[in-house]
Chains A and B, each alone.
Chain A
Amino acid sequence: MSIPADLKYTKSHEWARLEADGSVTVGITHHAQDLLGDMVFVENPTVGRKLTQGEECAVVESVKAASDVYAPIAGEVVAVNGDLEASPESINKDAYGAWMFKLKPDNAGDLNGLLDAAAYQAHVDSEAH
């Protein structure tokens, strides 16, 4: 199972990365794409939308099912990955490269409240039982 050590995670299987410019990049984890299977559709939030922590803000759909994506922390959407519209399967190929959207966080410190790689691994293990 691939869980990079330098990212933060949520129990709902999003990953978040603090960038040098202060923005936070968000995607879904390798484990999430593995559960969902072949991706066929991604619906991202619109740029400029203000999100609260835990808000439903995007949808990923595999052949099998639709799944909501939640904002890991509060902030404003400053960019979305438009490439996913044409090639949603890139999430299956590289879940950590195929980012979904970037937030300008209300408070970058909120990231500290998310799971680190070890805690996320423990969460994934607990869900498997």
Chain B
Amino acid sequence: MAELKQTPLNQKHREANAKLVDFSGWEMPIHYGSQLEEHHIVRRDAGMFDVSHMLPVDIKGDGVRAFLKKLVANNVDKLQHTGKALYSCMLHEGGGVVDDLIIYFMSESWFRLVVNAGCADKDLAWMETQRDKFAPGLEIKPRRDLAMIAVQGPQAAEKLWQALPGSEELTRPMKPFTAVLVGQMFVARTGYTGEDGFEIMLPEKAAAFFWQALLEAGVKPCGLGARDTLRLEAGMNLYGQDMDETTTPLESGLAWTVDLKSERDFIGKESLQRLPIGRQLVGLLLLDKGVLRAHQHVHTKEGAGEITSGSFSPTLNASIALARIPVGVAVGDEVEVEIRDKRLKARVVKYPFVRNGKALV
């Protein structure tokens, strides 16, 4: 087996007794003792995640905007103010999802994309191929020299300001889904938890020092286990589980991120317009006792489906899931989920399940 890659924070995780696991080829903390406690800390106070395995990619040169209008399914013309961020899928010609990513508009000659760790190599190759075809003058620059720390929770802002004196003036006015440069730090008001917070990219050499400052400000380290239950409660898709190259965004609860109204021609658009939509992504709440898990079969009045992400929800104290099922099944309908040798009852619900600390189902 290939050696696992390590982030600049690996030593900090070891000092904190993290349980380290292989995550997409990276040695990452799954928890530091209790995944449940870490989950609650983010809902109630402030926690931090090492997300340095994710890859920032800078696209620079003349005509980045025009290139991105071709490359991704959402419309970067929604980005008109410096620092504004946009969530989008990047599709292949068949309409399947190559990856989902966040795009930051810094200037007409500099956009920053952040892509999933497990897709990074594939994404770079794909972007370079498209660049060569449509915008050969552009530079695509992977930023492996940057670490990334997500500080999340209702107290995230206060504690960030404690840890980083002088940052309050610049970051207090920030709206969700925007970014500013604070010295050498790229501070974005984004996250993957459904809480307020920041994702901060910074030089890898500064990562351990900054992590320590956050620790001393009372921000608790949280592992990827809690990150997964938080994002599921927040109703956020996970690439590779809830969507991949075999599913379109329209079948993945991501129609809101696809711009089919404008004249703009993006990669995958023709397929999205042509293909019938037979499946939908829905939220499930388990009514019987048990735990929903990915790949369990779902039985509905319209036919069979499958859970794509499922877990125990620490906030709701119940089990929830995202599932891909036939269209025609509506919110409020009951379905059955096969768990081991039983069929358990679940209800189709709207998601997000939890937002800003509050249960929504």
Residues of A bordering B, CB below 8 Å: 37-38, 40-41, 43, 59, 61, 63-66, 85, 89
Q: Is the CB of A61 within 8 A of B312?
A: yes
B291 within 8 A of A: yes
Residues of B bordering A, CB below 8 Å: 30-31, 34-36, 39, 225, 229, 289-291, 293, 311-312, 314, 319, 340
Q: List chain A residues, Cβ under 8 A from B35.
A: 37-38, 63-64
Q: List chain A residues, Cβ under 8 A from B31.
A: 37
Q: Is the CB of B311 within 8 A of A63?
A: yes
Q: List chain A residues, Cβ under 8 A from B312.
A: 40-41, 61, 63
**Contact for B225 among A43, A64, A89, CB less than 8 A:** A64
Q: A41-B291, A63-B314, A64-B30 are in contact. List 9 more A-B contacts (CB 8 A).
A: A38-B36, A41-B289, A41-B290, A41-B319, A61-B290, A61-B291, A63-B36, A64-B35, A89-B36
Task: Name 16 interchain pairs, CB-CB below 8 A, sorted by A.
Answer: A37-B34, A38-B35, A38-B36, A40-B291, A40-B312, A41-B289, A43-B289, A43-B290, A61-B290, A61-B291, A61-B312, A63-B229, A63-B311, A63-B314, A66-B291, A89-B36
C-alpha spacing A40/B291, complex, angstroms: 8
Min CB gap A14→B, angstroms: 18
Q: List chain B residues, Cβ under 8 A from A66.
A: 291, 293
C-alpha spacing A65/B319, complex, angstroms: 13
C-alpha spacing A61/B312, complex, angstroms: 9
Q: List chain B residues, Cβ under 8 A from A85.
A: 289
**Contact for B340 among A40, A59, A65, A89, CB less than 8 A:** A59
Can you name the residue of chain A whose Cβ is closest to the Cβ of B21? A64
C-alpha spacing A40/B314, complex, angstroms: 9
Which of the listed residues B31, B311, B312, B314 has the most CB atoms from chain A within 10 Å of its own CB? B312
Can you name the residue of chain B whose Cβ is closest to the Cβ of A59? B340
Q: List chain B residues, Cβ under 8 A from A63.
A: 35-36, 39, 225, 229, 311-312, 314
Q: List chain B residues, Cβ under 8 A from A40.
A: 291, 312
C-alpha spacing A85/B290, complex, angstroms: 10
Min CB gap A100→B, angstroms: 16
Min CB gap A55→B, angstroms: 14
Which of the listed residues B36, B225, B319 has the most CB atoms from chain A within 10 Å of its own CB? B36
Can you name the residue of chain B whose Cβ is closest to the Cβ of A88? B312
C-alpha spacing A86/B32, complex, angstroms: 25
Q: Is the CB of A38 within 8 A of B291?
A: no
Min CB gap A57→B, angstroms: 12
C-alpha spacing A63/B223, complex, angstroms: 13
Q: List chain A residues, Cβ under 8 A from B319.
A: 41
Min CB gap B16→A, angstroms: 16
Q: List chain B residues, Cβ under 8 A from A59.
A: 340
C-alpha spacing A59/B31, complex, angstroms: 22
Q: List chain B residues, Cβ under 8 A from A43.
A: 289-290
Q: List chain B residues, Cβ under 8 A from A65.
A: 293
C-alpha spacing A65/B30, complex, angstroms: 13
Can you name the residue of chain B whose Cβ is closest to the Cβ of A64? B225
Q: List chain B residues, Cβ under 8 A from A38.
A: 34-36
Min CB gap B251→A, angstroms: 27
Q: List chain A residues, Cβ under 8 A from B289.
A: 41, 43, 85
Q: List chain A residues, Cβ under 8 A from B290.
A: 41, 43, 61
C-alpha spacing A64/B223, complex, angstroms: 12
Can you name the residue of chain B whose Cβ is closest to the Cβ of A85? B289
Q: List chain A residues, Cβ under 8 A from B34.
A: 37-38
C-alpha spacing A43/B319, complex, angstroms: 15
C-alpha spacing A30/B280, complex, angstroms: 42
Min CB gap A39→B, angstroms: 9
Min CB gap A43→B, angstroms: 7
Can you name the residue of chain B whose Cβ is closest to the Cβ of A92? B34
7 tightest A-B CB contacts, nearest first: A40-B312, A38-B36, A61-B291, A63-B35, A41-B291, A63-B312, A38-B35
C-alpha spacing A17/B330, complex, angstroms: 51
Min CB gap A102→B, angstroms: 22
C-alpha spacing A84/B209, complex, angstroms: 43
Q: List chain B residues, Cβ under 8 A from A41.
A: 289-291, 312, 319
C-alpha spacing A63/B224, complex, angstroms: 12
Min CB gap B197→A, angstroms: 21
Q: Is the CB of A37 within 8 A of B291?
A: no
C-alpha spacing A45/B31, complex, angstroms: 31
Min CB gap A6→B, angstroms: 28
Min CB gap B155→A, angstroms: 23
Min CB gap B18→A, angstroms: 13
